[in-house]
Structure 1
């Protein structure tokens, strides 16, 4: 009986040790998870307008604020949206119109920072050999562009201004970089793309028929973050926005170093970056505050966003335009010191 009692006590002690060990492991694992901060992944499409992201990362402006940021190139509009919904990325740098279309599809996010507006950086290139001298001459021509993107938004606006619509052209759907390549290879009559492709086409003797200089304010680029990130980790979003504000100031004050950083990021020459930047209007903090405006006096972001929503509804890519008040969030820019 005594031996049996001792055996039972030993067994109980061993079980207690195992349970304690398991609990300890779980506690340690939990502590490790809490202490381990995963990087914030921001997707972008190759474009110098997003330069503040690369300057902030290169100069340690994110890290100095306690945030680890990973930049991931995703050119496809649909791919970026899907990645954001799936939680594979926590934010995306995209044109305002694309972000509005994502909002209309129910992607939960907040627009927290404006990078820039295109001032000649996006445009329409046409083959000289095709006799295209004005927008009206595009009727029946093959035009390469990325459907449902800022390029599409620009093209439709240009067509509409000249009495045409999407049905009057032969659309060839492909990404902006692919559109430029197809154009240079002579596979299409025209293409909507951006710098440095516009400059390369012009240097090759082709015609830049129109650019965003002809449609001021139409294409602006913003940072959209997941709604749950903004709600559950506002300090992280605040740090990112503050870093972008600092980076934009740095870019304006240090153009030569900025050109080198962006040249390395986009595999370009510094002088090519310098030429690209001439066609972009970067928004600093003051200009962000003006672009967003206030509740009493909404800024241009609301007007451009509304036009974008109407555009996507017209294309039947959206059933209805989103309520921009649910997505445009000026909270973070107003708190930057």
Structure 2
């Protein structure tokens, strides 16, 4: 004889609780899968310590918190970093406005998404005092090494004009960043234009035979985050995440300057004194402000003026090279460009 069985009776309230519990579990799994899928790999080519917000954001985990798997690729200069990005070796790059303006004369396939820092005394001119160079006018007829179409190039031209000299009054030796200092050390040139901390090291090495020519305010440089137009416009949400991480890094640098400097010192292999000089010469802020537009246009006038009259073209409209939407969505008060 078969013993009859009956299905267990489940109270309706218990059923609803179980269903709700399962819904939460499945919801968490979906969100987890979505977050994993949303992890976006981004690479940034960067140059000098003017880009210090990048390693700070990486070290503090701000990129990771935004779902961005960040790779920072160091280069000897912003000029080289920008060229690498344009050549497809990274997604974004940091660089001063001089290389940006130089490329804007011949191509329009890139955008500035933010400015990360500003400086007016980072690039410097070192001269051989043992060769009789004591003031600006003494540079007349001298050989000066520098990288072409860089902030250093602009500083030299501005310094010469400030001291009553023409561009043709000096002999320029255009070299790669890595070779500029070596030319000075070998005695092949009378002066160089470079940046900190290399300029201070050079003066210390020559112990009384060289000095830095004062030039604060003659060259105001910005250090922008730049990307290919297609990449920026096609990854607007990712660009916003990158900028949000950098805004966090900016706040960290303000609240914890000692820790921020320590991260920068480790990244750029600088000692405490070097990083203090670099820090004092910079304002680290994530912005897109009106002075940026002025600096781009001013640099463009200078570069156009270097060309023979027949080769000069109209100045580009730099509003066309700015991507405002991402920073507006992250920190709207940082976008003050009139457009």
TM-score w.r.t. the length of structure 1 is 0.79
* 1:147 to partner: Cα distance: 0.5
Q: Deviations over 1:59-100 (max 9, x none)?
A: 111111011221112336664444323322111100012212
**Corresponding residue for residue 119 of structure 1:** 120
Equivalences for residues 137-148 of structure 1 within 5 A: 137-148=138-149
Larger Rg over CA atoms:
2
Unaligned runs of 5+ in 2: 1-35, 332-339
Cα distance change on mapping 1:194 and 1:318 into 2, 3 Å: farther
Which moves more between the two structures, 236-245 or 259-268?
A: 259-268
SS of match in other structure, 1:236: helix
Cα distance change on mapping 1:62 and 1:38 into 2, 3 Å: closer
Equivalences for residues 311-330 of structure 1 within 5 A: 311-316=302-307, 319-330=313-324
Equivalences for residues 150-229 of structure 1 within 5 A: 150-203=151-204, 204-205=207-208, 206-211=210-215, 213-215=216-218, 218-229=220-231
Q: What is the CA–CA distance in structure 2 between the aligned matches of 1:273 and 1:185, rounded to whole Å? A: 27
TM-score w.r.t. the length of structure 2 is 0.79
Q: What is the CA–CA distance in structure 1 between the aligned matches of 2:59 and 2:296, rounded to whole Å? A: 31
Q: What is the CA–CA distance in structure 2 between the aligned matches of 1:77 and 1:104, rounded to whole Å? A: 18
Q: Deviations over 1:36-78 (max 9, x none)?
A: 9663221112x22110011011111111101122111233666
Structure 2 residue 232 is matched with structure 1 residue 230: yes
SS of match in other structure, 2:247: helix
Contact 1:125 1:191 in 2 (8 A): yes
Contact 1:44 1:74 in 2 (8 A): yes
Contact 2:46 2:78 in 1 (8 A): no
Contact 2:79 2:150 in 1 (8 A): no
How many aligned residue pairs are there?
290
**Corresponding residue for residue 13 of structure 2:** none
**Corresponding residue for residue 75 of structure 1:** 76
Contact 2:44 2:72 in 1 (8 A): yes
Contact 2:109 2:228 in 1 (8 A): yes
Cα distance change on mapping 1:198 and 1:81 into 2, 3 Å: closer
Structure 2 residue 260 is matched with structure 1 residue 274: no
Equivalences for residues 289-304 of structure 1 within 5 A: 292=289, 299-304=290-295
Cα distance change on mapping 1:241 and 1:36 into 2, 3 Å: closer
Q: What is the CA–CA distance in structure 1 between the aligned matches of 2:243 and 2:252, rounded to whole Å? A: 14
Q: Deviations over 1:239-280 (max 9, x none)?
A: 111111111111122122122211221112233212321122
**Corresponding residue for residue 253 of structure 2:** 251
Unaligned runs of 5+ in 1: 1-33, 293-298
Contact 2:123 2:151 in 1 (8 A): no
* 1:333 to partner: Cα distance: 2.2
Cα distance change on mapping 1:131 and 1:195 into 2, 3 Å: same
Q: What is the CA–CA distance in structure 2 between the aligned matches of 1:75 and 1:271, rounded to whole Å? A: 21
Q: What is the CA–CA distance in structure 2 between the aligned matches of 1:232 and 1:105, rounded to whole Å? A: 23
Pairwise CA RMSD: 2.3
Q: What is the CA–CA distance in structure 2 between the aligned matches of 1:42 and 1:193, rounded to whole Å? A: 23
Q: What is the CA–CA distance in structure 2 between the aligned matches of 1:318 and 1:148, rounded to whole Å? A: 16
